[in-house]
C-alpha cells in the first residue's frame, strides 16, 4: 500500500486561507468516504481535525474544513493563525481493514 501524496510544505499569512491536497487512488480515497486529517505539533501526538471527509470533532475550530473529489481529498484552513503551524497528515481507509497515511505537509504561518 503506497502512501497518499501530499505537498511537502504550504505556507500562508495570518488571516489567509490555505488548502492542503491529498491524492490517492480509486482503491482508497476514491472508493470510501473515510478520509481523516490530523494535526501534529512538534513533539506531540497527532490530533484528529476532520473525519469521514468533512466531519469536525467536537472542539475543533470551524476554520478547518474538508472535502473530496474523485481520488483527491483536501483540507482547508481559513483565517490562518500562528497556532495552526505544524504538520498535517491525511489518512484514508483502503479496504479489507487497511488504512494508509499521507506523507505529511508542513504548514508555515508567515
Partner 1 sequence: QVQLVQSGAEVKEPGASVKVSCEASGYSFNYYAIHWVRQAPGQRLEWMGWINAGNANTKYSENFQGRVTFIRVSASTAYMELSSLRSEDTAVYYCARGFEHAGGFDFWGQGALVTVSS
> Which grid coordinates belong to 62?
470551524
Shortest approach of partner 1 to residue 78 CB, angstroms?
A: 21
d(CA 19, CA 43): 24
Measured from the CB atom, the residue of 29 and 50 that comes closer to partner 1 is 50
One of 13, 42, 45, 62 touching partner 1 (CB under 8 A): 45
Measured from the CB atom, the residue of 80 and 91 that comes closer to partner 1 is 91
Integer angstrom CA distances of residue 106 from 32, 58, 73, 93: 25, 24, 17, 22
d(CA 24, CA 98): 14
Provide the binding-site residues for partner 1, judged by CB under 8 A. Answer: 1, 3, 34, 36, 38, 40, 45-48, 50-52, 57, 89, 91, 93, 96-104
Amino acid at each position: 500500500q503506497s502512501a497518499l501524496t501530499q505537498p511537502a510544505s504550504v505556507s500562508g499569512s495570518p488571516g489567509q486561507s490555505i488548502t492542503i491536497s491529498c491524492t490517492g487512488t480509486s482503491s482508497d480515497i476514491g472508493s470510501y468516504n473515510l478520509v481523516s486529517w490530523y494535526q501534529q505539533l512538534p513533539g506531540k501526538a497527532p490530533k484528529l481535525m476532520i473525519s469521514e471527509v468533512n466531519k469536525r470533532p467536537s472542539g475543533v475550530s470551524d476554520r478547518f474544513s474538508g472535502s473530496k473529489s474523485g481520488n483527491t481529498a483536501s483540507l482547508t484552513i481559513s483565517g490562518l493563525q500562528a497556532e495552526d503551524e505544524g504538520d498535517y497528515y491525511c489518512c484514508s481507509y483502503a479496504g479489507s481493514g487497511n488504512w494508509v497515511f499521507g506523507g505529511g505537509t508542513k504548514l508555515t504561518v508567515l
